[in-house]
Amino acid sequence: MRQNQISVMVRWLLVLGFLAYVFVHFLKVVQPVLIYHLQQPPFYKMQVFFSQYTDYPGGMAEYAGNFLAQLLHSNFMGSLLLVTSMLVLMLVAKYVFSQTRGGGKGFFWMILPVVLLSLLFQNYYFPYYVFLKVFIAYCAVAVFIALRNRRTVQMIFFGVMVFTLYYLAGSTALLIFLASVIVYASFSSFTKVTPRIIFIIVALVVSVAVPYLGYKYLFNISQLKIWWDLVPAQPVIIRYVPDKALYAFVAVLPVVLLICGLLDKIKSLMLRIPFINRLYSRFSSSDGVIVYLGIIVVAAGLYIVIRQWVFTSLNTQKKSVLLVDYYTLHGEWDKAIDAALSSNEYDLFINFNYNRSVYNSGKWGEWFFKYPQLLGADGLFPDKIVSGQVALVASNFYYELGYISEALHWAFEAQSTTPYNPLVLQRLVKVHLIEGKPEAAATYLNILKTAFFQDDFVKKYSAYIRDTSLIGKDPEFLEKRSFMPRNTYTPGTISEKLKLLLKFNGNNRRALEYLAMYYLLSHQVGNFANILPQVVRYYNPLPTLYQEALVLYVAKTDAGIRYAFKEDVIQSVKNFFENFKKYPDRRVAQNALQQDYMGTYLYYVAFQSPVVTKMQLKAREVESY
């Protein structure tokens, strides 16, 4: 008896150690706040918001999942939520597997769904409510098995659960439940053979009929979602694409039940062999050394698999993209810059946010080319490709420039794909206040009042609705109003938009510097030279990259530019091209000059510019549902 207690204790200590390790991994490495930042799981305490989840199967689980996902707003609470989810899944799975003859006490088998879930939780796109749908199916299977000694109640529960589960968690969760109970009924002493066969046939018919009838007569759902509705249609920018881990997670419950049933049958057949029977009896009556050794071996094996497979599955590049975007959104410019420069791969969205961050941090003239500007001017502004993927980024970009009508346009574009994104609603509030439309701003504020984590924003701007004179006293709004073009057309190119902003207000420094950088990135140094008198108003001396461009321009055109260039800049340009000419092969020259010139305008023009590399922006996926 004591031996069994110690064995159980050791196993649970290993389980708790595993969960503690996972908690730290989520807290320090995955950082759940980035999941929240990407997905912005909507939850509003409004009847109209709730009612939209009642119109289709699985909606209630999605509603509850979005509510729980609000905890992802905090790294600590988010990590606690994810680990708690793994724990409760483990307990339910242990119970289910322990009730099968071949499942033993369920300790080994319960790890499998949890390992798969830990993989899924490390995917920043994975919606929490998908887990909740599957977990509801697990609970339904557990209750069904718990009622095995009360056949009438069990059958009533089965009938009720078929329709309840379909509505609450969707058709995929229903199929998990039905597949699991069919397998369980096939291998358990589930009454006599004939009733068992009848039950299996009924369950098979139900698995086809209920989802189809729901699609045909009750709910307005896509034909593609009749039997697979675990992941609903989502905007491209937050779309989770089902992968092998999800399919394995969905299948693991019925598959393990099947394996346990087969193992029990195989065991019964093998024990009929005298030698194996004696060996099994001797092992079962051992003093526990072999048992403990087995536990240690299995635990070590699981640790190696989990350590090398699960905890190396995190997409570090995607994390870098999210970190840069997160820090940029919260105005932590230096952290955004550090995260961008730490990234191992070029990314368009990192490029956008890096450029915003270096400008807002005051490092525009010195740090701009430290991140490779591989797309040139196309990496300077986010709306070259019209897509909902860049809508919020574009709205933020134009808001900072003071081009309020464009900020509004892109905010509406973002709202069309993510209507309840609080970041979009915040932008709409501020833009409408700037445009002098407090009634429209109040509409969005009333929605935000019912959301979590919006109290400070709502409190501040509700005062502006009650007393509109506060709008004219807000320094941020005053500046944006002074910059915004009025009663005019919207140009089609970024250069013309920037010129229009400067036409309405020549003191719009951000617009001027973005126009200057646009010219430099496009190799239009002559146009940059034309606006030099406006640029020099803000600098004494000019940033090194500006001087490099002008020295290069003068050397090529003999243009008479009156500016006292720094001697070290002139010498640097001369040395660069002297060294460049030494190497007939451009790649060899790039490697040779990288250490001394990476991060300069000279290096960009010679090696990184899309004029040289022919790199182009690809069209992005169109939103589809």
d(CA 349, CA 320): 10
Task: Tell me what percent of the residues of the chain surpass a pLDDT of 70.
Answer: 88
* 1, pLDDT greater than 70: no
The pLDDT, as a whole number, for residue 291 is 47
* 265, pLDDT greater than 90: no
* 620, pLDDT greater than 60: no
The pLDDT, as a whole number, for residue 269 is 66
d(CA 101, CA 175): 23
Structure tokens at 166: 């379909």
Ranges 127-141, 560-574, 586-600, most confident: 127-141
* 300, pLDDT greater than 90: no
The pLDDT, as a whole number, for residue 379 is 86
The pLDDT, as a whole number, for residue 99 is 85
* 149, pLDDT greater than 50: yes
Q: For residue 621, name the pLDDT band (cuts at 50, 70, 90).
A: very low
* 62, pLDDT greater than 70: yes
HEC letters along 472-512: HHCHHHHHHHHHCCCCCCCCCCHHHHHHHHHHHCCCCHHHH
Q: For residue 295, name the pLDDT band (cuts at 50, 70, 90).
A: low
Task: Tell me what percent of the residues of the chain surpass a pLDDT of 90.
Answer: 62
Q: How many Å separate Cα 609 from the centre of its chain?
A: 30
Q: For residue 2, name the pLDDT band (cuts at 50, 70, 90).
A: low
Under a CB-based contact definition with an 8 Å cutoff, are residues 610 and 521 in contact?
no
Give the model confidence (pLDDT) of 439-476 as tens digits. Answer: 999 999 999 999 999 999 999 999 999 999 999 999 99
What are the backbone dihedrals phi and psi of residue 202, each rounded to the nearest 5 degrees, phi first?
A: -60, -45
* 6, pLDDT greater than 90: no
Q: How many Å separate Cα 471 from the centre of its chain?
A: 35
The pLDDT, as a whole number, for residue 124 is 95
Give the SS3 label for residue 535.
Answer: helix
Q: What is the pTM of this model?
A: 0.88
Structure tokens at 411: 């905010």
d(CA 447, CA 49): 10
Closest CA to 345 of 367, 370, 316, 369: 316
d(CA 233, CA 225): 10
Kindly tell me the sign of the dihedral angle through the C-alpha atoms of 201, 202, 203, 205: positive
Closest CA to 409 of 484, 348, 468, 479: 484
The pLDDT, as a whole number, for residue 186 is 86
Give the model confidence (pLDDT) of 153-211 as tens digits. Answer: 999 999 999 999 999 999 999 999 999 999 998 887 656 778 888 889 999 999 999 99
Give the model confidence (pLDDT) of 504-545 as tens digits. Answer: 999 999 999 999 999 999 999 999 999 999 999 998 888 999
d(CA 168, CA 57): 6
* 493, pLDDT greater than 60: yes
d(CA 222, CA 228): 10
Q: How many Å separate Cα 313 from the centre of its chain?
A: 15
Structure tokens at 416: 């069309």
d(CA 248, CA 132): 16
The pLDDT, as a whole number, for residue 70 is 97
The pLDDT, as a whole number, for residue 157 is 95
The pLDDT, as a whole number, for residue 624 is 45
The pLDDT, as a whole number, for residue 503 is 93
Closest CA to 160 of 185, 177, 179: 177
Kindly report the average pLDDT of the chain as a whole number: 87
